[in-house]
Amino acid sequence: MDTIDTAPSVRVLPTEFGAPALNITLEEGLIGCEMWQHFTLEAPADTAPLMLLRSLDEPDISFIVCDPRAIESDYSLALSDTEMDILGGPSADELAMFVIMNVKMIENRTQVTVNLLGPVVVNLANRAARQVINPDHLAHHPVGDLSHVSADAKA
């Protein structure tokens, strides 16, 4: 198994913030949403470290995503040889990953979680991507509670 090293020298952000959008293809789609295979990843400088993953197959669908190290500094991911083959056999410096955030209201509180269980890995050379399972982590890893944010600040 290869491991995506999360040392600072390894590039884990799919794009530089403020750079043009990156089009990626998930041949197998997202887990549970296999029909969504084509996406654009946008990384505006003013939203760092948050990025936006927009579906090209379903224009009304988009996700807030981020580098998993923004949540858990020692986050790492092991990839099987099969997963590496599916991604096109990239070298470690051609790999990037991000995780999907979830923001929802629970009992009048805004809860933020991130899916550390299912990161998306991208081969930057060919733009192939795959959502993989990282069994040591949670699908709804708590990030925070935004209940303290005033209604004026949310608007």
For the segment 102-118, what is each residue's pLDDT rounded down to a tens digit? 988 878 888 889 999 99
Separation CA 68–CA 116 (nearest Å):
7
CATH 2.30.290.10 fits 2-154, yes or no: yes
Q: What pLDDT digit, counting tens, does each position of 119-140 carry?
A: 999 998 999 999 999 998 989 9
DSSP characters over 109-146: EEEEEE-SSS-EEEETTT-EEEE---TTS-TTEEEEE-
pTM above 0.85, yes or no: no
Q: Which of 19, 20, 59 is nearest to 39 (CA)?
A: 59
Q: How confident is the model at residue 56 (pLDDT cuts 50, 70, 90)?
A: very high
Strands 22-26, 128-131: pairing kind? parallel
